[in-house]
Structures are given as C-alpha cells and as structure tokens.
Amino acid sequence: MESLTDAQRQLYDWLAEYIHQHQHSPSIRQMMAAMNLKSPAPVQSRLEHLRNKGYIAWSEGQARTIRLLQSTPKGVPILGAIAATSLVETYPDSEVEHLDLSSLLLKPQHFALKVRGHSMIDALIDDGDVVILQPADDPKTIKNGTIVAARVEGKTTLKYFQKKVAKFF
C-alpha cells in the first residue's frame, strides 16, 4: 500500500474518525472546515489521491458515499515498553498491538507503552500496566508533576516531570 502525505493522512484520519462517530461520510464543506481550507479543490484532490492509493472509494454522482477500504485497527497503538525503574534501553516491540479504548475520547496521536518496573507504584502504575501518552506539542508547556516518558542519554523512563531552574548568584 502506497504511503500518504501528511495532508492526505490528516484527511484520512479525520474521515475515519468522522465515519466511525456518525456512521456516514461527511460533506465536502465539512471536510473543508475540518482541514481549515477555503476551497473544495484541495479536499477533492486529497480525496482523489486517497482513492487512487486504495484507501477510500465512493459512488460517482452520489453525495456522502465515501467508504474506507482499509480496516484501520481500533484503539491506541502500543508502541513498546518503558522502564519505571532506573534508566534502561527502550523496549521496542516488533509487533504493534492496539488497545481498544473506543469509549474514551482520544486523539489519533495518542499511543500506549507497557510498563516495566515498580518505581511508579505511588502513582498506581505497576509492572505490566499500560500507560497512555500523548506527544507534547511544546515541551515548555509541560507542568511540574506531570507523568512523562523521559529520554535521558538515549534511554527512556517513566517519571514525574520536574523543571529545575538554574540559580545564578
């Protein structure tokens, strides 16, 4: 299957979510609004690319007939494991699993990691648990006390975030 550009992926992911929630496809105007576009031409172009790449299909001349051809796994992808002990090598899993949390309102960029270790037990996170994370758009906005997957010297661990301010005398 041919890969998608970022714009095509954004539209496809939005379509999949919309169709899942509403049980029918959106109008071109709804897609324009969702993609923050002023003209239908870019939406139509992206739809055509998605159809040519085998991701969607529709009935010519009929409104709201877009169908998803790819069975996208439901849920949050579990991308590996993370240590909840001292720093250790990242645990990448070779096979991506999905954790179906369709009853929760999660965004497509959310992902999950399996926890290895006991250092987060005070946060009720224990060895073998699964944590759901979202990438930080701007790391500067992370608040003290937030649980984060931290990368230190190429290794990762699950910890409470604490900003340290350097004091100069």
Determine which of 72-76, 136-140, 144-148 has the lowest per-residue pLDDT on average.
72-76
Active site residue 119: yes
From the list 27, 31, 24, 29, the residue with the least C-alpha distance to 8 is 31
pLDDT over 70 at 119, yes or no: yes
Residue 124 predicted with pLDDT over 60: yes
Q: Please say whether the structural domain 6-68 has been given the CATH code 3.30.70.270.
A: no
Residue of 53, 57, 31 lying closest to 44 (CA atoms):
31
* 155: β partners: 152
Q: Which of 39, 119, 140, 143 is catalytic?
A: 119
- Name the band, by pLDDT with cuts 50, 70 and 90, for residue 26: very high
Tens digits of residue pLDDT in 72-82: 666 667 777 77
94, 159, 163, 164: which one is catalytic? 159
| pLDDT-derived band at 63, boundaries 50, 70, 90 | confident
Q: Are 136 and 150 in contact (CB under 8 A)?
A: no
The model carries a pTM of 0.46
Q: Of 27, 2, 20, whose CA–CA distance to 102 is shortest?
A: 20
pLDDT of 29: 94
Percentage of the chain lying above the pLDDT 70 cut: 82
**Does residue 37 register a pLDDT over 90?**
yes
| Bigger pLDDT: 144 vs 110 | 144
Q: Give the domain ranges of the chain.
A: 6-68, 76-160
The mean pLDDT of 90-105, rounded to a whole number, is: 61
95: pLDDT strictly greater than 70: no
